């Protein structure tokens, strides 16, 4: 129990200190296998399909980006559904678009005639459209047909007019409206609009007016001006518009914008000159989501990262560390990995360690050391840590420089990357000793050396006029005094289970605690006797944190005065609290003393004796039944009268054995009426007979 408490204290202190360090620096890891397994889990097949065509597209797109092979399983059923949607003349525009999107990935066998019919329909709806989503679905559909077959003519003739009607929906801040009737503007719609415009540019049969394209570029710049920023450098597009589809989270909005600008940059084949730190911030935002909880969010994240990963805009390079906790005693090497957002390898580059910020102090030591590239593992290694690095927490600042000047245009490195690093090591414990001092002069009464790396079992004696002193030194691997964050505790535990915990103070050079028992008697509840001593020293950078029993001290404290506080009742052990309760023993009344069986039976016989005597007496008196009526009707009544009395007595016997009072009273009421009737008939007959005799 005591050991468990100590470990808990250690663990909570470690957590608290780790939480405090994570401020400005943060690590963003590229897409990894964790995302792949999450994708397989989130996009799970129910009844052999992913649900609607839209959900199927999102699942397939995510799988394609992550490189998961799942197509053959669902290919047949999805293709059937795609073919059905595409051949049906009543399919909605949105369904056609989704079916074409799915077909773009699965490449089902759809004949060119069907494509031509759909293209005809889509062209019609482009010309008739005035809602943003209608433009998006029809132009997107035509784009997909263009990619899937070369036989069908998908070019749009009146591109400038369509362009203007789409542009009419844009707002001054770079966002867009879904329809001209709706004044609310949306960032998600901006992404959709950019994609639509990009589609329109590639579908236009003649060149689009340059000034129109320039206005769209201007819109994109305005959109990027409104980007939101987190402290860790992540950027995102906020979505204030709430519509019926529920597209209101920053993830889907940012994803939509990234898709839009990528499509636009691809279509125009021009440089957009977007600020590199914002693109990097967007990449950090999508990576910072880590693994989303819903399939939709995962699609938005992965699709946006895929756009960023092979974007024509610029490809962000992400610096990540396999391990941010390095042990100086194990001589761990600092390794840095540079990847694109999707985890693929980066172009040749060099990584420099520029600065090291020590926790707690603002000043940084400038290092400017280049890391050595290990081509086998694709990591950059810092072989030896700088000399002045001791155990503790640091923030390392890295800089990526690309070797090929061509790459500098394509890739963005995001300037200096700050990464929190924890350096751990074995802490040496020296000069540990425990002593009992005389209070007045401070002379040493008893002193013991301790070896805190092993077990100790000291036995000390002290009274309330003495002091207990415990001291030890902590040294880091580089020989400096180590100062854990107030994580040295001394625990005294009385035999009765009363515990007292003291914090061991740090005097700069060594740790020391002096317990003056005179001032502590009240705190100790005047409990004399054996106290176990336990020492806990721990820190999150100390690899050999320990919780050791040092032995015991026999305390001789004065007797408690009457008003002294009683020791608190000991907390119930949590194991026994939830464990089985003590068995409840029921105390029953002891049974009454019973007479011997024979005696009771004998008295039963005795009770019958007067009854026999009664019959004997009746015989002696020559009693007879001659007075019973002779004629049939009175005789019957007399018989019924006796029968009635017998049945009432029988009812009483039943009442005694099993019936309750209410049942008995009901039956008795009926029997009583019967008895009254027959009794009256019988007795009145007898009375009339005797009256006749008298008168005669």
Partner 1 sequence: MGRSTPSKDAQALFHSLHSAYAATPTNLKIIDLYILFAVFTAVIQVVYMAIVGSFPFNSFLSGVLSCVGTAVLAVCLRIQVNKENKEFKDLPPERAFADFVLCNLVLHLVIMNFLG
CB of 617 to partner 1, least distance (A): 4
CB of 657 to partner 1, least distance (A): 10
Residue 315 contacts residue 300 (beta carbons within 8 Å)? no
CB of 618 to partner 1, least distance (A): 7
* Closest to 390 in 3D by CA, of 243, 541, 175: 541
* Closest to 343 in 3D by CA, of 581, 618, 67, 613: 67
> How many CB atoms lie under 10 A from the CB of residue 35?
25
> How many CB atoms lie under 10 A from the CB of residue 220?
20
Judged by beta carbon, residue 231 or residue 592, the one nearer partner 1 is 592
For residue 372 the two structure tokens come to: 């050595």
Interaction pattern, residues 584-613, with partner 1; x per rule: CB under 8 A: --------xxxx---xx--x--xx-xxx-x
CB of 665 to partner 1, least distance (A): 8
E strand residue ranges, 261-301: none
Classify 422 as helix, strand or coil: strand
Classify 470 as helix, strand or coil: strand
C-alpha–C-alpha distance, residues 158 and 189, integer Å: 23
Classify 693 as helix, strand or coil: helix
* Closest to 320 in 3D by CA, of 422, 420, 424: 420
CB of 594 to partner 1, least distance (A): 7
CB of 696 to partner 1, least distance (A): 17
C-alpha–C-alpha distance, residues 274 and 188, integer Å: 19
Judged by beta carbon, residue 128 or residue 621, the one nearer partner 1 is 621
Subset of residues 409 to 428 that bind partner 1, contact rule: CB under 8 A:
none
Judged by beta carbon, residue 353 or residue 678, the one nearer partner 1 is 678
Q: Could you tell me the CA-to-CA distances from 400 to 275, 340, 619, 655 in Å, in that order?
A: 18, 13, 134, 102
Residue 420 contacts residue 384 (beta carbons within 8 Å)? no
**In which residue are the tokens 């649900």 written?**
51
CB of 597 to partner 1, least distance (A): 11
Q: What is the DSSP letter of 374?
A: E
Classify 506 as helix, strand or coil: strand
CB of 631 to partner 1, least distance (A): 17
Reduced 3-state DSSP string for 583-616: CCCCCCCCCCCCCCHHHHHHHHHHHHHHHHHHHH
Please count the residues of this chain forming the interface with partner 1, following the rule CB under 8 A.
38
Residue 674 contacts residue 617 (beta carbons within 8 Å)? no
Interaction pattern, residues 161-180, with partner 1; x per rule: CB under 8 A: --------------------
Judged by beta carbon, residue 420 or residue 679, the one nearer partner 1 is 679
Residue 667 as a binder of partner 1 (CB under 8 A): the answer is no
User: Inter-axis angle of helices 295-309 and 276-288, to 10 degrees?
Assistant: 150
Chain centroid to Cα 90, Å, comes to 45
Judged by beta carbon, residue 432 or residue 678, the one nearer partner 1 is 678
Classify 150 as helix, strand or coil: coil
For residue 608 the two structure tokens come to: 């019958």
Judged by beta carbon, residue 566 or residue 594, the one nearer partner 1 is 594
Judged by beta carbon, residue 584 or residue 621, the one nearer partner 1 is 621
Judged by beta carbon, residue 230 or residue 615, the one nearer partner 1 is 615
Interaction pattern, residues 614-653, with partner 1; x per rule: CB under 8 A: x--xx--xxx---------------------x--xx--xx
Which span sits near partner 1 by CB under 8 A: 60-68, 347-355, 442-450, 684-692? 684-692
CB of 622 to partner 1, least distance (A): 8
Q: Following DSSP, what letter does each residue of 513-578 receive, concatenated?
A: EEEEHHHHTTTTTT--EEEEEEEEE--TTBTT-EEEEEEEEEEE-PPPPTTPPPPPPPPPPHHHHH
Judged by beta carbon, residue 366 or residue 602, the one nearer partner 1 is 602
Which span sits near partner 1 by CB under 8 A: 308-316, 343-351, 422-430, 660-668? 660-668
User: Inter-axis angle of helices 53-66 and 295-309, to 10 degrees?
Assistant: 50
CB of 587 to partner 1, least distance (A): 20
Which span sits near partner 1 by CB under 8 A: 172-180, 200-208, 558-566, 680-688? 680-688
66-93 as b/e, with b when 16 or more CB fall inside 10 Å?
A: bebebeeebeeebbebbbebbeeeebeb
Judged by beta carbon, residue 444 or residue 601, the one nearer partner 1 is 601
Angle, CA 608 vertex, CA 607 and CA 611 arms, to 5°: 115
CB of 581 to partner 1, least distance (A): 37
Judged by beta carbon, residue 446 or residue 668, the one nearer partner 1 is 668
E strand residue ranges, 230-322: 235-236, 315-320
Judged by beta carbon, residue 168 or residue 643, the one nearer partner 1 is 643
> Binder to partner 1 among 655, 667, 674, 681 (CB under 8 A)?
655
- Cα-flanking dihedrals φ and ψ of residue 404, to 5°? -85, 125
CB of 499 to partner 1, least distance (A): 57
Judged by beta carbon, residue 609 or residue 696, the one nearer partner 1 is 609
Put the strands of the sheet holding 349-358 in their side by side order.
325-327, 416-424, 392-402, 349-358, 364-370
Judged by beta carbon, residue 566 or residue 622, the one nearer partner 1 is 622
> Binder to partner 1 among 128, 441, 582, 661 (CB under 8 A)?
661
CB of 559 to partner 1, least distance (A): 55
C-alpha–C-alpha distance, residues 358 and 205, integer Å: 62
**In which residue are the tokens 């000991």 written?**
570
CB of 621 to partner 1, least distance (A): 5
CB of 610 to partner 1, least distance (A): 4
Judged by beta carbon, residue 440 or residue 592, the one nearer partner 1 is 592
> Binder to partner 1 among 77, 127, 668, 681 (CB under 8 A)?
668
CB of 632 to partner 1, least distance (A): 20
Interaction pattern, residues 72-111, with partner 1; x per rule: CB under 8 A: ----------------------------------------
Which span sits near partner 1 by CB under 8 A: 230-238, 244-252, 277-285, 678-686? 678-686
Judged by beta carbon, residue 282 or residue 651, the one nearer partner 1 is 651
- Which parts of this chain interact with partner 1 (CB under 8 A)? 592-595, 599-600, 603, 606-607, 609-611, 613-614, 617-618, 621-623, 645, 648-649, 652-653, 655-656, 661, 664, 668, 672, 679-680, 683-684, 686-687, 690-691
């Amino acid at each position: 129990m005591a050991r468990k408490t100590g470990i808990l204290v250690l663990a909570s202190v470690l957590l608290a200190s780790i939480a405090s360090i994570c401020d400005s620096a943060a690590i963003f890891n590229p897409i990894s296998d964790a995302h792949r397994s999450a994708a397989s889990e989130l996009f799970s097949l129910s009844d052999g399909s992913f649900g609607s065509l839209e959900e199927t597209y999102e699942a397939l797109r995510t799988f394609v980006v992550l490189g998961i092979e799942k197509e053959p399983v669902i290919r047949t059923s999805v293709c059937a559904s795609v073919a059905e949607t595409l051949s049906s003349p009543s399919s909605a525009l949105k369904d056609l678009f989704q079916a074409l999107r799915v077909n773009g990935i699965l490449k089902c066998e759809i004949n060119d005639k069907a494509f031509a019919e759909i293209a005809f329909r889509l062209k019609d709806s482009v010309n008739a459209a005035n809602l943003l989503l209608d433009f998006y679905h029809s132009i997107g559909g035509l784009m997909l047909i263009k990619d899937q077959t070369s036989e069908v003519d998908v070019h749009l003739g009146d591109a400038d007019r369509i362009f203007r009607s789409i542009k009419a929906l844009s707002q001054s801040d770079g966002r867009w409206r879904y329809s001209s009737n709706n004044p609310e503007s949306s960032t998600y719609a901006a992404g959709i609009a950019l994609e639509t415009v990009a589609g329109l540019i590639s579908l236009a049969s003649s060149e689009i007016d340059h000034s129109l394209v320039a206005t769209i570029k201007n819109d994109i710049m305005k959109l990027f001006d409104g980007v939101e920023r987190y402290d860790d450098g992540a950027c995102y597009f906020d979505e204030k518009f709430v519509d019926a589809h529920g597209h209101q989270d920053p993830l889907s909005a940012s994803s939509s914008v990234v898709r839009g600008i990528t499509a636009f940059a691809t279509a125009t084949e021009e440089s957009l000159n977007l600020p590199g730190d914002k693109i990097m911030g967007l990449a950090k935002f999508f990576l910072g989501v880590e693994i989303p909880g819903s399939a939709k969010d995962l699609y938005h994240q992965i699709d946006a990262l895929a756009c960023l990963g092979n974007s024509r805009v610029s490809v962000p390079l992400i610096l990540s560390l396999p391990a941010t906790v390095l042990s100086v005693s194990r001589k761990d090497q600092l390794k840095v990995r540079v990847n694109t957002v999707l985890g693929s390898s980066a172009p040749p580059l060099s990584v420099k360690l520029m600065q090291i910020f020590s926790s707690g102090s603002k000043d940084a030591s400038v290092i400017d050391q280049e890391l050595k590239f290990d081509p086998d593992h694709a990591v950059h290694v810092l072989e030896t840590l700088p000399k002045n690095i001791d155990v503790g927490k640091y923030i390392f600042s890295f800089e990526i420089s690309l070797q090929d000047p061509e790459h500098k245009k394509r890739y963005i490195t995001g300037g200096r990357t700050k990464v929190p690093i924890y350096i751990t090591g074995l802490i040496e414990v020296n000069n540990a000793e425990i002593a009992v001092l005389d209070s007045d002069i401070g002379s040493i009464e008893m002193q013991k050396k301790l070896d805190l790396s092993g077990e100790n079992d000291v036995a000390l004696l002290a009274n309330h006029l003495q002091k207990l002193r415990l001291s030890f030194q902590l040294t880091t691997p580089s020989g400096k005094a180590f100062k854990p964050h107030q994580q040295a505790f001394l625990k005294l535990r009385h035999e009765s289970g009363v515990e007292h915990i003291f914090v061991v103070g740090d005097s700069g050079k060594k740790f020391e605690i002096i317990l003056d028992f005179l001032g502590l008697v009240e705190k100790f509840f005047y409990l004399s006797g054996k106290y176990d001593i336990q020492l806990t020293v721990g820190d999150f950078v100390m690899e050999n944190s320990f919780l050791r029993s040092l032995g015991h001290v026999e305390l001789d404290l004065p007797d408690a005065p009457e008003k002294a506080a009683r020791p608190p009742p000991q907390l119930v052990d949590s194991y026994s609290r939830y464990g089985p309760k003590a068995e409840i023993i029921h105390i029953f009344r002891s049974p009454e003393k019973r007479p011997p069986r024979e005696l009771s039976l004998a008295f039963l016989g005795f009770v019958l004796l007067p009854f026999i005597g009664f019959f004997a007496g009746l015989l002696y008196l020559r009693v007879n039944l001659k007075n019973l009526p002779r004629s049939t009707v009175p005789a019957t009544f007399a018989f019924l009268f006796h029968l009635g009395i017998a049945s009432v007595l029988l009812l009483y016997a039943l009442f005694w054995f099993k019936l309750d009072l209410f049942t008995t009273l009901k039956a008795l009421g009926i029997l009583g009426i019967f008895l009254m009737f027959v009794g009256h008939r019988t007795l009145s007959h007898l009375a009339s007979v005797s009256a006749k005799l008298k008168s005669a």
